[in-house]
């Protein structure tokens, strides 16, 4: 039986990956900051996983010494540990690059056979965005380390579309730009299958999106439809987004870091090779059926 460390196990993708490894008979060690999070469903219907995790270790990427020993006795490391929401005085460099690098050093010290890492699709077009460049600095470390690896490059997750859904619930949606760029978002469970399949494949990079391609306007319209509400979108010109980002950067750097990724993504077509079978329409329907 393979032993796997999942870093970021309490997050949207991490929970699906934990379940997928467990269902395939692996022994799963979860690396988290807060073990209690594993017991409850997440905000975008991602499942609790405390029941399928064999071992929990706690660590915080902002203090790399807490990650030491996390990989002991492990065959495979999977990491989707990353900064996706603003944290006080914490940068993407600390989590996405240095936190994952500390994990890689521990993996190398403990003879881990393979390291699977989640970066982003279209990274080469967004290297001016802090979170993307931090991901890619880690990818460079990973490639230079000599360990067998796979970098997964997904488009947007359904959890990001969940944010659109929350805004649609309020009855009014602000969308950056004219909303005509395309995206094929992917469900966490579909992506988890691809991440776990990567264990047995000798493929250095996998770009992946979901089965359906939409314009951003269409993703939002679907959310309004699932809620039985009239579509009401106000398009915010990109220059206003950039100006808001500049001002936010002066007063709240962590928030500006997250905003800059959202702005960069809205400005691009994000359509990766289509995989998976789960549809955004159904995800929105499930969210709409959930009590708030």
Ligand X SMILES: NC(=O)c1ccc[n+]([C@@H]2O[C@H](COP(=O)([O-])OP(=O)(O)OC[C@H]3O[C@@H](n4cnc5c(N)ncnc54)[C@H](OP(=O)(O)O)[C@@H]3O)[C@@H](O)[C@H]2O)c1
CB of 230 to ligand X, least distance (A): 27
- Is there a contact between 206 and 151 (Cβ–Cβ < 8 Å)? yes
Chain center to CA of 182: 19
CB of 178 to ligand X, least distance (A): 21
Q: Output 48 or 229, the one with its CB closest to ligand X.
A: 48
CB of 7 to ligand X, least distance (A): 7
Residues near ligand X, by CB under 6 A: 8-14, 33-34, 37, 60-62, 80-85, 95, 99, 118, 120, 154, 156-157, 159-160
Q: What is the rounded distance in angstroms from the CA atom of residue 218 to the CA atom of residue 224?
A: 10
Q: What is the rounded distance in angstroms from the CA atom of residue 5 to the CA atom of residue 113?
A: 12
Q: Output 34 or 170, the one with its CB closest to ligand X.
A: 34
Q: Output 37 or 229, the one with its CB closest to ligand X.
A: 37
- Is there a contact between 101 and 77 (Cβ–Cβ < 8 Å)? no
CB of 165 to ligand X, least distance (A): 14
Q: Output 76 or 83, the one with its CB closest to ligand X.
A: 83
């Amino acid at each position: 039986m393979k032993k796997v460390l999942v870093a970021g196990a309490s997050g949207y993708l991490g929970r699906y990956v934990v379940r997928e490894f467990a269902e395939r008979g692996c022994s799963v060690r979860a690396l988290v900051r807060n073990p209690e999070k594993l017991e409850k469903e997440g905000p975008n219907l991602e499942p609790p996983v405390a029941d399928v995790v064999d071992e929990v270790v706690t660590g915080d990427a902002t203090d790399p010494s807490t990650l030491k020993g996390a990989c002991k006795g492990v065959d495979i490391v999977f990491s989707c540990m990353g900064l996706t929401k603003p944290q006080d005085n914490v940068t993407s460099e600390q989590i996405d690059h240095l936190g994952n690098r500390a994990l890689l050093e521990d993996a190398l010290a403990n003879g881990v056979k393979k390291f699977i890492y989640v970066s982003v699709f279209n990274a080469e077009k967004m290297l001016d965005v802090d979170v993307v460049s931090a991901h890619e600095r880690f990818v460079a470390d990973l490639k230079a380390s000599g360990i067998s690896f796979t970098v997964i490059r997904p488009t947007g997750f359904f959890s990001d579309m969940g944010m659109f859904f929350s805004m649609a619930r309020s009855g009014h949606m602000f969308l950056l730009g004219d909303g005509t760029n395309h995206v094929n978002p992917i469900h966490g469970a579909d992506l988890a299958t691809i991440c776990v399949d990567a264990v047995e494949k000798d493929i250095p990079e996998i770009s992946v999106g979901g089965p359906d391609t939409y314009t951003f306007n269409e993703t939002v319209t679907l959310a309004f439809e699932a809620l039985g509400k009239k579509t009401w979108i106000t398009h915010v010109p990109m220059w206003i987004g950039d100006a808001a980002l500049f001002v936010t950067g002066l007063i709240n750097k962590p928030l500006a870091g997250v905003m800059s990724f959202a702005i960069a993504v809205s400005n691009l077509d994000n359509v990766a090779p289509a995989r998976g079978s789960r549809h955004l329409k159904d995800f929105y329907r499930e969210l709409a059926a959930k009590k708030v």
